[in-house]
Amino acid sequence: SGDGKSKPGECVTPLGSYIDRYIEIRSNGSITDGVVRHERLFLKYIDEVIGDIPMCKVTAEDIERCLLKVPELSRKWALERRAKQEENRKTVRWAKKHGTLKKPYKPIKVAGPDMQSKILKFLREVMNYALEKDDITKNVAKAKFLTRVFKKSKPLIDPLMADDAGRFLGEVEKLPLDYFKVSVLLLLNTGMRPEEMLAIHVGDIAFDGSEASINIVSVLDRDGKTIRSYPKSDAGRRSVPIDAYTAGEVKAWIDIKSNQMKALGLKPSMSMLVCGPDVIPRTYQSWLRDWRSFIGAAGFEGIRPYALRHTFATLNLANGENIKTVSVLMGHASSAYTLDLYAGYVPNTGIGIGSRYMSFLRAAV
């Protein structure tokens, strides 16, 4: 038959060809171009190792063999790309564009556990699809040993301790009022991600009421230049409160930037970006240069911007804030994920719980 299946569960179409068709079907509007690019990359690894095995013959051991090859293939392809770059940089065109033949290369990145985990998840999705179509009789990608071995690694948790965080805040407060000071205050005092901070518009901030707040509804795209609506989940679209000091600095900066725009003959609007000196978005790389300059001068060399997000979460949890509240403010999909990340920073309140409980019962009579 046309799908390579003579009877239920015996599809002999090669795995690589089957996945290629699966991506093609879903790319007609059901998934974004970015997802298609990622799935094509996953297919490249799969094709290289087990792509020629018939769908009905693929085993969990075949999948394990493929996943174990990921770092080796990644390094091989990275070195091949580097060799091509070496050839390109010898050309006149390269010299004219970059002004030098000695521009240093970035270190080679080799795919590891995260890529292995993503490929395994993708294979499970493909085989679920094949199972529903009766092309196979079992989803071998769901084997328990694969789940145990190829786990997605947890994000790096590198918060500042309370005393360092206080000193860091003191250094930020010394900065002159401009876009950068506002951006760092927002990262430190709200727990938002850098890509969220760079996408904040004036209209996203509410200064009314007893406490100002920011509606986070968009992010700076991976290209570092384009702002788009939140694509992941409703959890990412949230409202975060701002403390009085940060709100005052943000409001004062908005007034300064509005006056600067008027001086240029431009009309300020609610769509004006807050965390940027210009009308167009501040690219992440440009902002990162300012960040590195600041942390070097302030004595915090090596601190990542994401460390401020982790600082917000860990110190709030250490101070007894509810895990659910912190999870919502961080934009996590569930409080279980937040607890999994920051379990070590949640204080143990079990000591004395029996006495407190009995005291509560007696006081209620």
In the predicted model, what is the mean pLDDT of residues 147-163? 86
Distances (CA, A) of 295 to 195, 287, 289: 19, 12, 10
At 116 the pLDDT is: 93
Q: Is a pLDDT exceeding 80 seen at residue 274?
A: yes
Place of tokens 């690694």: 153
Tens of pLDDT along 160-216?
A: 999 999 999 999 999 999 999 999 999 999 999 999 999 999 999 999 878 899 999
DSSP state of 201: B
Q: Is a pLDDT exceeding 90 seen at residue 69?
A: yes
At 152 the pLDDT is: 78
Question: What residue type is assigned to position 293 of the chain?
Answer: S
Q: How many residues does the chain have?
A: 365
Q: Is a pLDDT exceeding 90 seen at residue 40?
A: yes
> What torsion, rounded to 10 degrees, do the Cα atoms 21, 24, 29, 33 define?
130
Place of tokens 């143990």: 348
Across 75-89, 131-145, 349-363, which has the greatest mean pLDDT?
Answer: 131-145
At 246 the pLDDT is: 94
Tens of pLDDT along 73-127?
A: 999 999 998 888 777 766 666 566 666 556 566 778 888 888 999 999 999 999 9
- Judged by DSSP in three states, 11 sits in strand
Number of CB atoms found within 10 A of residue 294's CB: 17
CATH class of 15-149: mainly alpha
Q: Where are the domains of the chain?
A: 15-149, 162-345
At 96 the pLDDT is: 66
At 1 the pLDDT is: 41
Q: Using CA atoms, how far apart are residues 162 and 168, in angstroms rounded to an integer?
A: 10
Helical segments of the chain, H only: 15-26, 33-50, 60-68, 70-88, 92-98, 113-132, 144-149, 162-173, 179-190, 194-197, 244-263, 284-298, 306-318, 323-330, 335-342, 353-363
Give bridge partners of residue 242 from the DSSP assignment: none
At 103 the pLDDT is: 59
> Which fold is adopted by the domain 162-345?
hpI Integrase; Chain A (1.10.443)
Q: Using CA atoms, how far apart are residues 160 and 197, in angstroms rounded to an integer?
A: 20
Are the C-beta atoms of residues 127 and 136 closer than 8 Å to each other? yes
At 98 the pLDDT is: 62
* CB hemisphere CA count around 258 (13 angstroms): 12
- Where residue 232 falls among pLDDT bands split at 50, 70, 90? low
Q: Using CA atoms, how far apart are residues 38 and 153, in angstroms rounded to an integer?
A: 18
pTM of the model as a whole:
0.71
Are the C-beta atoms of residues 295 and 301 closer than 8 Å to each other? yes
Average pLDDT, the chain: 87
At 277 the pLDDT is: 80
